[in-house]
Chain A
Amino acid sequence: MIQTRGEKAFVRFSTIMMGLIALAAFLPFLLIVIASFTKESSLLSEGYSFFPKELSLDAYIYLKASSYTFLRAYGVSFFVTFVGTAVGLLITSMLAYPMSRRDFKYHNTLAFVVFFTMLFSGGVVPSYIMWTQYFHINNTIAALIIPNLLANGFNVLLVRNYFKNNVPIDLIESAQIDGASETRTFFNIMLPLSVPVLATVGLFMGLAYWNDWINALYYVSKPQYYGIQNLLVQLMNNIQYLNSGQAGSAIGAGAVDLPSSAVRMAMAVLGIVPVLFVLPPLQKYLTRGVVIGAVKG
């Protein structure tokens, strides 16, 4: 491929801009990491700094000693994220496919039905009653996977949009003239051609599962089902609760040993770092369309 001068200039411009944007994203995170290794006293006297006077491992030692089982929590989080994303992606794309077909009578009705769920919700209490008293999912691993996260209107409409605009209708029609069933068309033509959007939505779902702690707050009270975010949010909420006027001196919690700012930063690091290892390989799927586009052409 020959590049013109204008194109080269544009690539250079893109490189610099993206470099700056990436820097803006990484620097604050670096600050968090450094703060988690900073000695508490220098954190309080000098504030957050990229070059702290005194480093220390105290925050991580504190977390280790707290005997929260981080390893098990990571296990729960990974399991929930993997299963939830896989099932959710399947359901989402299966629903999006008919909606993307203009020749399907109910495509707009379905879109409306899905979109409506994004706007209105009955609130926590009705959902809670339904899931716990009719489906009995409380205190099971399913409680972390099924409520709210398995599919949402945003993702379905995103996938539908991609199907509708990026996959040529002739491809589907010619496959069906060849006698392919809808199921086969979907799995063999639609899905392979839509890897970028599936990767995108998969990423969104995966992050939603990884970051979720609400389901566990509502539906789970056994620590063996706590994912990493639950552990972190619980620690963080307890700190906030005890620091706020609510708890007050009335409870007399004066003797509770609260984790410091450095510990909170260390907790944030523990929640983020594993995700960073998963992201770069995902890039491949996000850009898969480029290759397919070439094959098609």
Chain B
Amino acid sequence: MKNKRSSALKKTAPLLLLAAPGLLYFLINSYIPMFGVFIAFKDVNYAKGIFGSDWVGFDNFQFLFKTTDAWIMTRNTLLYNLAFIVIGTICSIFIAILMAELLRKLYSKLYLSGLVLPNLISMVVLSMLVFAFLNADSGFINKSILGPLGLPEINWYSEAKYWPYLLVFIQMWKTAGYGSIVYFASIAGIDKSIYEAAKIDGAGKLRQIRTITLPLLKPTVIVLGLMSLGRIFNSDFGLFYQVPLNAGALYSTTQTIDTYVYRALMQLNDIGMSAAAGLYQSLVGFVLVLVVNAIVKRVNSENALF
């Protein structure tokens, strides 16, 4: 018995030692500050100090629900995130497969820059670029495309109905290439002899992709998918605030939980209420991931996140 335990210790100890620096970092950087969530239940008063402030239960959460926008912002956040996860995964895998095909080409090095470049452009600059394309008076689309084609000009920043497509498109433009790098690395790691064998069996390119590449990418897709599910109540503030230029007419399709919280607390500047919003977003994501992970685990325990 004792022997068995010590041999198990011998086995785990070196591995724990390797993990130690990283775990220590997460403990300090992430777990210790997490005690701060209690601020979400406090009416912060600095004379009493953060710890001495009064407990107010769920009062700080009220502003998230006591608004007619509650439904709109929740719906928008969810639908955009679902669209980003599904369309983004498809686009990224598509690009990764193409990239893998062109590995040996001389100009393939340029492609990597091409994939990363949109991600380097900050949202503020991107919003200026989008404005250059869409503005009503001198925008590229109205002036150089719709005008010459004889189509009526569109006042983009006051027509909410176009923005779901615009935002999905912009998000894909910005992130699909960057996201494809992960898949590309996975494809690069696939044993080439598998493809050779399939080729000898007479499998064409498309069949190789379908029967070898895609199944081997499945674990990566599931892990990335689960990780994005955890953030399904969060949204990129820059994309939903800066890019639509904070235009009121577009709120029905651009308002997300994050932009609402920002706009609502601009004046109040209340850390209790912003902590409450963050906690709410995290909790929803957390529950969702636990559920989906449990399902994945039942189907194939290998692919589960934990």
Contacts and interface: CB of A to CB of B under 8 A. Distances in A.
- A and B, direct touch (CB closer than 8 Å): yes
Interface stretch (A26-34, A56-64, A71-79, A219-227): A26-34
Contacts of B289: 115, 119
Nearest to B138: A47
Interface residues of B, number: 94
13 contacts: A14-B98, A46-B138, A47-B143, A95-B19, A105-B12, A110-B23, A118-B227, A126-B33, A151-B22, A161-B220, A200-B182, A204-B181, A293-B192
A189 interface: no
B22 A91 contact: yes
A125 B36 contact: yes
Contacts of B6: none
B105 interface: yes
A108 B294 CA distance: 13
B185 A151 contact: no
B230 A119 contact: yes
A117 B50 CA distance: 23
B88 interface: no
Interface residues of A, number: 106
A117 B230 CA distance: 11
Which of A121, A162, A240 gathers the greatest number of chain B CB atoms within 10 Å? A121
Interface of B: 8, 11-12, 14-19, 21-23, 25-26, 28-37, 39, 50, 95, 97-99, 101-103, 105, 108-122, 124-125, 128-129, 132, 135, 138-140, 143, 173, 177, 181-182, 184-186, 188-193, 196, 204-206, 216, 219-220, 223, 227, 230-231, 271, 274-275, 278-279, 282, 285-286, 289, 305-306
Nearest to B226: A115
Contact of B114 (A15, A22, A186): A22
A203 B192 contact: no
Contacts of A118: 227, 230-231
A268 B192 contact: no
A217 B23 CA distance: 26
Interface string A15-26: 101100111111
Interface in A73-131: 90-92, 94-95, 97-99, 101, 103-106, 108-115, 117-123, 125-127, 130
A264 B128 contact: yes
Contacts of B138: 46-47
Given A4-B204, A17-B98, 13 more contacts: A22-B111, A25-B115, A26-B117, A117-B29, A117-B31, A118-B230, A125-B39, A130-B33, A153-B26, A156-B22, A211-B122, A236-B122, A272-B120
Contacts of A182: 14-15, 17-18
B26 A7 contact: no
Interface in A191-222: 194, 196-197, 199-200, 203-204, 207, 211
B140 A47 contact: yes
A255 interface: no
A261 B120 contact: no
Interface string A251-293: 0000000000100110010011001100110110011111001
A32 B132 CA distance: 11
A275 B305 contact: no
A287 B140 CA distance: 39
A148 interface: yes
B189 A162 contact: yes
Contacts of B98: 14, 17-18, 21
Given A21-B177, A99-B19, A276-B117, A119 B185 contact: no
B128 A290 contact: no
B188 A15 contact: no
A95 B16 CA distance: 9
A207 B119 contact: yes
B118 A196 contact: no
Interface of A: 4, 6-7, 10-11, 14-15, 17-18, 21-26, 28-29, 31-32, 46-48, 90-92, 94-95, 97-99, 101, 103-106, 108-115, 117-123, 125-127, 130, 146-148, 150-151, 153-154, 156-158, 161-162, 164-166, 181-183, 186, 194, 196-197, 199-200, 203-204, 207, 211, 233, 236, 240, 261, 264-265, 268, 271-272, 275-276, 279-280, 282-283, 286-290, 293-294, 296-297
Contact of A21 (B18, B114, B184, B189): B114
Contacts of B120: 207, 211, 271-272, 275
Given A117-B30, A280-B112, A32 B125 contact: yes
Given A14-B101, A207-B119, A91 B25 contact: yes
A167 B104 CA distance: 24
Contacts of B231: 118-119
B8 A105 contact: yes
Nearest to A148: B29
A23 B102 CA distance: 16
A272 B112 CA distance: 14
Given A4-B204, A14-B101, A97-B15, A151 B305 contact: no
B188 A196 contact: yes
A126 B40 CA distance: 13
A119 B282 contact: yes
Given A91-B22, A199-B185, A293 B111 contact: no
Contacts of A279: 109, 112-113, 116
A120 B286 contact: yes
